[in-house]
Chains A and B, each alone.
Chain A
């Protein structure tokens, strides 16, 4: 019905198309334009289909306040700790893997339509038009499959190694296949060393195993399928030689690769630059000792010159890779610089990988400080664009930042490096998520140690927590920096960050934080002080809360039981929390709880500054919290601190509002007489005085203890010591 288009209505459109066809496509477009009327359209620029998209995306930078795009944008699903980041990313990938398994297992259902008429049900059907291969199930090859050379071509071009070996065997091995295909197959085998390469689809899993993968071991399979195919090739083409030597050199079968190279040279077979690059990379496997190795390297390079092979940037990085792997020392460093100069003369600038190897060679952890990085940065900053060429390129930024942090300890340099990474499209050179986190670990550490405080906070505010979550060691650095700068507000926030990042159970960190809070508590504004007190209260309660969640019995059987805070840390909490004048403030409850903790020895060790506790007693008395004061003095007396006597006198003086002389006179009296006349809390202090004086508690110590706690404002009853 709609097919018979009424032409008259479409006529303007049609003419328009015709006109455009004749004018734009038909006309010759001006190349070097010299037009008659003075208006010259610029020459046509050919665009790729994705160019506009890339231009658009270049206008939008990364938003540091949003989570990485692999996470779902929902408050419940945004990860805030390193553990969660990893587990969420892996979970999503596990789900995708499960789906891929279902697809491969039931491939038939994904290409046929159940609802088609019965005659068509089994006909393969592809929903997408044009068909997208990535969504189509992969063909399965087993012993019964009927295969052709097309299948072999398909498996080779898609790098399906196991499948291609299967198809190759099904086709009848080396005899039946033509030489072209055999060569392709040989190249695939040499590249992968007859082992299925890691799938590029499962990125998250790959970066988990990435650390263990890069080992320089001789893994080449001697007498494997590749060798057999090479033997069956007749005549042996240069490509075949190159493929086999490259494969051997790549998998560190150096001696055979060398022997084969010599054989090829003797036979007059032309070799490629890549072959020599690979050989240069495994010189270390041929010779022992630096001198012999450098000799060998030079020999190879001169051999290249004899064979008229032009070296490229990969030659340079292969040389440097070898040199940096041999160790360190002045001689090697000089040699490496010689190589770089030599290549500069040839017009080859070192790439990121070459610089990475140079950094490895020059900036050893315990070596003398060498500022090679500034030259490198000068050079790199001049370049318009950093183009990734080798997989090792992604190591550059993380190593360079490590050098800034450990070796040079220079924030200026780190800042320059970071600016370089953020420039243009360079961020993709940072590597995978693992490398990224190490990079930021170095950056944040160097910023904490050597940057002005404003810069540090700026960096922390942009990076934490979405781009980077600090590890415990880095968190400690941050706390140190905050302490030195006296940023009370940020220290109070740091506690909530510890909880969110899942490191609140690390006692060492928490104690560090409490120390920091105590040391810069005094010169804060009232509001900040209140925040810090709240944080301190929360720290003390945090341990209990997690214990209650697990249930009272389960705490001991937990796999990682909550470790005890030290007595010093608890004292710090007490010091912070007791700084309130108000009688009804909730902090007093926490103080009392903390004291009970100390008395029940739930905290490890004894406090190193008992004077703090004496101060707590003073403040408590001043606020009218007699029970708390008594508990503090009692604790001092029970643990035999010298401060106990002075503290109890002071406290009593404040409690009874009498001068010290009177109190001292009163304390000389018999305890029994005082029992009736004094407030129970005051009496407890008298008891503590006696205990401290004589070392022996009076007979009714227990009773007084109980009375103290029942009298005290807190609702908890203390257990007896």
Chain B
């Protein structure tokens, strides 16, 4: 389907003179082979078998809703859902913001749950900085995200002593 879309874009572009920075031409459309079903979302075994995986990483995608759950909880992606693209972009923004603001501290996936206009962001962080600094970051992230997304944002963090605590297995 992606390939079809790419062809569509190619067929449009010579006729309609698009500006060079136009979003359609500048965004790269990702096309992938049917192989994706086999490898995507799965981790390759390392030579020394010492690659750490969290529980979330250790379970391949087909275990979603069986052994693990979704990383984004919202109603945009169900049939008739609203704001699909916006939600996707906002979620990506929240994830990048979290990993950048809590730099080197987040040791799990960032889970984003939306209920009504309330966004709850959950993650596991390392106890590498003092609680005081964590509280500063908490207040900062909540307020900034709330202002950016213009809805209440709550951070639901859990702390672990080190990254080792979230390692489920080594492959």
Contacts and interface: CB of A to CB of B under 8 A. Distances in A.
Q: Do A and B come from one complex?
A: yes
A84 B135 CA distance: 11
A115 interface: yes
Contact of A135 (B131, B136, B150): B150
A135 B135 contact: no
Interface stretch (A85-93, A219-227, A396-404, A663-671): A85-93
Interface string B121-146: 00000010001111111111111101
Pick from A77, A94, A95 the residue with the most CB of B within 10 Å: A95
Contacts of A93: 139
Pick from B117, B135, B137 the residue with the most CB of A within 10 Å: B135
B53 to A, nearest CB: 24
B137 A95 contact: yes
B34 interface: no
B138 A95 contact: yes
Given A76-B127, A128-B151, A99 B139 contact: yes
Contact of B135 (A92, A100, A131, A136): A92
Interface residues of B, number: 33
Given A2-B80, A96-B143, A127 B151 contact: yes
Nearest to B85: A115
Interface stretch (B19-27, B36-44, B63-71): B19-27
Contacts of A97: 139
A98 B150 contact: no
Contacts of A131: 150
A99 B22 CA distance: 32
Interface string A585-598: 00000000000000
Interface in B7-55: 19, 21-23
A131 B136 CA distance: 27
A521 B41 CA distance: 64
A88 to B, nearest CB: 5
B149 interface: yes
A91 B136 contact: yes
Given A96-B140, A115-B23, A127 B135 contact: no
Nearest to B127: A76
A472 interface: no
A96 B142 contact: yes
A95 B155 CA distance: 13
A95 B102 CA distance: 13
A610 interface: no
Interface in B48-92: 80, 86, 89
Given A96-B140, A118-B19, A118-B21, A72 B135 contact: yes
A77 B144 contact: no
B151 A135 contact: yes
Interface in A94-151: 94-100, 102-103, 110, 115, 117-118, 126-128, 131-132, 135-137
Contact of B149 (A96, A99, A127): A127
A127 B150 contact: yes
Contact of B159 (A74, A91, A137): A74
B19 A95 contact: no
Contacts of A88: 131-132, 135
Interface of B is mostly: helix
B151 A95 contact: no
B89 to A, nearest CB: 7
Contacts of B147: 99-100, 103, 110, 135, 137
A644 B23 CA distance: 95
Contact of A110 (B89, B148, B157): B148
Nearest to B80: A2
A115 B88 CA distance: 13
Pick from A72, A84, A136 the residue with the most CB of B within 10 Å: A72
Nearest to B86: A127
B83 to A, nearest CB: 10
Pick from B86, B139, B159 the residue with the most CB of A within 10 Å: B139
A77 B146 CA distance: 22
B144 to A, nearest CB: 4
B162 interface: no
A69 to B, nearest CB: 11
B164 interface: no
B80 A98 contact: no
B166 to A, nearest CB: 15
B30 to A, nearest CB: 17
A97 B139 CA distance: 8
Nearest to B160: A76
B77 to A, nearest CB: 16
Contacts of B141: 95, 99
A114 to B, nearest CB: 10
A118 B133 CA distance: 39
A127 B90 CA distance: 11
Contacts of B21: 118
A100 B143 contact: yes
Nearest to A100: B143
Contact of B138 (A84, A92, A100): A92
A98 B149 CA distance: 17
Contacts of B157: 72, 74, 77
Interface in A48-107: 72, 74-77, 79, 84, 87-89, 91-100, 102-103
Interface of A: 2, 72, 74-77, 79, 84, 87-89, 91-100, 102-103, 110, 115, 117-118, 126-128, 131-132, 135-137
Given A76-B127, A95-B136, A98-B140, 6 more contacts: A88-B132, A91-B132, A96-B139, A99-B143, A103-B143, A132-B151
6 contacts: A72-B135, A76-B127, A77-B157, A91-B135, A117-B22, A136-B150
